[in-house]
Structure 1
Amino acid sequence: MRTFGVEEEFLIVDPVNGVPLPLSAEVMDLHGASVRVAGPSARQMLSAELHQEQLEVITHPHSSLDSLATEILEGRAYADSLARKAGARIVALATSPLAVSPHPTRNERYDALVEKYALTAREQLTCGLHVHVSVGSDEEGVAVLDRIRSWLPSLMALSSNSPFWNGQDSGYASFRTQAWNRWSSAGPMEVLGSARAYHALVADIAATTVVINPDFDARLSARHPTVEIRVSDVCLDPRDTVLIAALVRALVETAAREWAAGVEPDRVPAMVLRQGVWMASRWGIRAELLHPATHRPDTARHVISALLDHVRDALNDSGDAAYVEKARHRILSNGTGATKQRQSYDRNGRLADVVTDAIGITHQEPDDRHTSANGSPSWTWRPLAEAVA
């Protein structure tokens, strides 16, 4: 079974007015003190991000969906418990609904980014979900990257959770994608065919001196034996995070099997894929997406069904199929995080309500967790208790 893990980026916000607060250094100090007390038993991994209004929570590698989901919930609760001590909360919003002037985190790396990228870096207060899946080699990893390209906009649509930007409705389901694509190396790649070609491309990009580690939509991890899929917004509902992680692992496994069987990748040009990215960013699951098989518009419901059919064998083999089917129906019926944010705003026309409602959805835990006969998690969910240990 391939191992997988996630990195979730969160906003640190005022629990009353919803404004992002530059408190990551204080939260990280509290984390450091907690780790010193817990010692080797410390479980949670936290990291600062480009701006002080952000915090990243990182899971360990897991083999089962159930254990990964448990750590996702634990990580959200732990980070929030630290933020509370600083008078704040963490919330899973991929952009801030309220206007904000972010405060860059001061270190050598981020200072260089802000100096080089100017307004693009200064405005880049965006929160994503990154999924890492283990691969046996760089060669297998690049073969996977070549074969999952067309399916990535579907993940973006399912995770869309950033309709607001600078205090107004952007019109997009994932405006984070629009902001993120201002980075010089963001977006889909062409089919590369080999690890050698991939590393040559990375070296050529580095030689331009514009960027060292490219921000491709999916890439080989520079630090781990994994592929890293980076297209998703951070998900408001933790159940959606679990869904995206399950689908990404299934996509990686399906692509690796195709490579082993000699199935050639779809060589659709990256420029065509960019149109699919734009459609997913604009509409989420509310309208048409580009179908990965035809690269022509089709309903979101049909495209998501095609995605599940494509990875069905891998989902069955991992025991994740039942959970994914249930989550798919829930999202198609109730909407994504972008839907819920707009519903919150429509009630009273207050962006602060969008944030406070989102805090409640961010922090959920299963009221009844058990593993079904086929190994997939089956849960009833309730809000997390207000007092976090």
Structure 2
Amino acid sequence: MTRTIGVEEELLLVDSDGAPTTKAQVILDAVQDGDGPLVAEFMEEQIETATAPHASLTDLDAAIRAGRAGAQAAANRAGARVAALATSPLPFVGIPMSTRRYLAIGAEFGLTAREQLTCGCHVHVAVADDAEGVAVLDRIGPWLAPLLALSANSPFWQGHDSGYASFRSQVWARWPTTGPTRTFGTPEAYHATVDALLATGTILDPAMIYFDARLSARYPTVEIRVADECLAVGTATLLAGLARGIVETAARAAADGAPLPDAPPELLRAAHWRAGRSGLSGGLVDPRTWRLAPAHDVVGALVEHIRDALVDAGDLDAVTDLLGALWSSGDGASRQRSWAADSGGDLGAVARRAADALLA
């Protein structure tokens, strides 16, 4: 049976000038039927939408599009716009949502929390149980950095070009539980690690387990959290299709008793940094050799690695087409930089063009 997939998108709220606007609570208070499932995120300048689980990439694409359209309809009533950006191009002062949990995080983590106006795209892939989920987590690490590169959509930070394709990944890395993980072997070892992290008193609750990929606390899924919020709907759909292929390939390898990949966390971290720095515009660390290689070659290796799973899910043609479109258009970071150049460096225009392209 084909594994279901769902996507959660964190979306930036901007005003008519393209600056982040604190309208999340106003929007949530006025949600209407048809707006879709909209929920609060950490900051008043962002909002989250989520799809139901789907087996078909075509259906998932339609659900992502409907979620974005619903978010924009709700934002319109509050005088705001929605942009699928992983960071704001313009300077901002982040305002946490006024919930007890978010205020506690703000108080505990200081500047790290205040600067977390970052938007990610999270993919949930169904697994049979925690045992299969941990077997998957132990095998997918080498292929997560290419997903970050494909989604890279945050070149600007506080009004400046950061030099990174995904500066969100740099800002996000400040939290104490982010990044790649060691192999766990069993669900008991995974949950013991979570309990140990909680026991340090460093994080407030299990929801602050921010691993690149984790067992979802709410659903029977592996949640892949490495990606930027994607500029285009098609990129989010592509990300989900690739994530499903990665999870399915790992689950098959575990069922066949294949050895674990040789993937030291130090190398995984370096590969993740390189993907955030380069996106698709430079080299990536090739998981087959742990050497720098052209991004096109590394993404091609990913597709080859999961080809059987893509074929069996009926996703190969769709993934091939979506990848072709992404190579043609460039990643989100490249497109944002192009828009900035076209507007003479007007970063507000970048945010406005992203809002215009929300459903493209």
Say which SS state the counterpart of residue 267 (structure 2) adopts: helix
Matches within 5 A, 1:86-235: 86-211=78-203, 212-213=205-206, 214-235=209-230
2:350 to 354, 364, 367: 354
AA matched with 2:71 = A
Inter-partner Cα distance in structure 2 for 1:111 and 1:88? 24
Say which SS state the counterpart of residue 322 (structure 1) adopts: helix
Tell me the residue number matched to 2:11: 10
AA matched with 1:3 = T
- Is contact 1:191-1:267 (8 Å) kept? no
Matches within 5 A, 1:1-389: 1-15=2-16, 17-31=17-31, 34-35=32-33, 44-211=36-203, 212-213=205-206, 214-347=209-342, 348-364=344-360
Q: CA deviation digits over 1:74-116, x for unaligned, max 9? A: 1100110110111111110000000000111011110111111
Inter-partner Cα distance in structure 2 for 1:10 and 1:190? 31
Inter-partner Cα distance in structure 1 for 2:83 and 2:188? 40
* More displaced 10-residue stretch of structure 1: 140-149 or 333-342: 333-342
* More displaced 10-residue stretch of structure 1: 327-336 or 138-147: 327-336
Q: CA deviation at 1:209?
A: 1.1
Aligned-pair Cα RMSD in Å: 1.0
- Is contact 2:35-2:74 (8 Å) kept? no
* More displaced 10-residue stretch of structure 1: 321-330 or 97-106: 321-330
TM-score where L is the length of structure 2: 0.97
Say which SS state the counterpart of residue 231 (structure 1) adopts: strand
AA matched with 1:44 = G
Say which SS state the counterpart of residue 303 (structure 1) adopts: helix
Inter-partner Cα distance in structure 1 for 2:262 and 2:216? 23
AA matched with 1:162 = S
Inter-partner Cα distance in structure 2 for 1:54 and 1:188? 26
Q: CA deviation at 1:156?
A: 0.2
Inter-partner Cα distance in structure 2 for 1:184 and 1:27? 31
TM-score where L is the length of structure 1: 0.90
Q: CA deviation digits over 1:189-228, x for unaligned, max 9? A: 0111111110111111010011132110000001111000
Inter-partner Cα distance in structure 2 for 1:362 and 1:43? 15
* More displaced 10-residue stretch of structure 1: 246-255 or 321-330: 321-330
Q: CA deviation at 1:267?
A: 3.1
- Is contact 1:94-1:128 (8 Å) kept? yes
Inter-partner Cα distance in structure 2 for 1:79 and 1:354? 20
Q: CA deviation at 1:239?
A: 0.5
Q: CA deviation digits over 1:215-250, x for unaligned, max 9? A: 100000011110000000000010000000000011
Q: CA deviation at 1:334?
A: 2.2
* More displaced 10-residue stretch of structure 1: 179-188 or 288-297: 288-297
Say which SS state the counterpart of residue 223 (structure 2) adopts: strand
Inter-partner Cα distance in structure 1 for 2:215 and 2:188? 12
Q: CA deviation at 1:330?
A: 2.0
- Is contact 1:159-1:233 (8 Å) kept? yes
AA matched with 1:271 = E
AA matched with 2:24 = S
How high is the sequence identity, in percent, across the aligned residues?
A: 48
Inter-partner Cα distance in structure 1 for 2:59 and 2:239? 15
Inter-partner Cα distance in structure 1 for 2:199 and 2:240? 33
Inter-partner Cα distance in structure 2 for 1:349 and 1:117? 33
- Is contact 1:190-1:267 (8 Å) kept? no
* More displaced 10-residue stretch of structure 1: 167-176 or 257-266: 257-266
Q: CA deviation digits over 1:140-168, x for unaligned, max 9? A: 00000111000000000000000000000
Runs of 4 or more above 3 Å deviation:
none
Inter-partner Cα distance in structure 2 for 1:170 and 1:113? 26
Q: CA deviation at 1:323?
A: 1.0
Inter-partner Cα distance in structure 1 for 2:35 and 2:320? 30
Q: Which runs of 5+ in 2 are unaligned?
A: none
Inter-partner Cα distance in structure 2 for 1:134 and 1:338? 30
Tell me the residue number matched to 1:382: none
AA matched with 1:67 = D
Inter-partner Cα distance in structure 1 for 2:191 and 2:57? 31
Q: Which runs of 5+ in 1 are unaligned?
A: 36-41, 365-389
- Is contact 2:42-2:97 (8 Å) kept? yes
AA matched with 1:246 = G
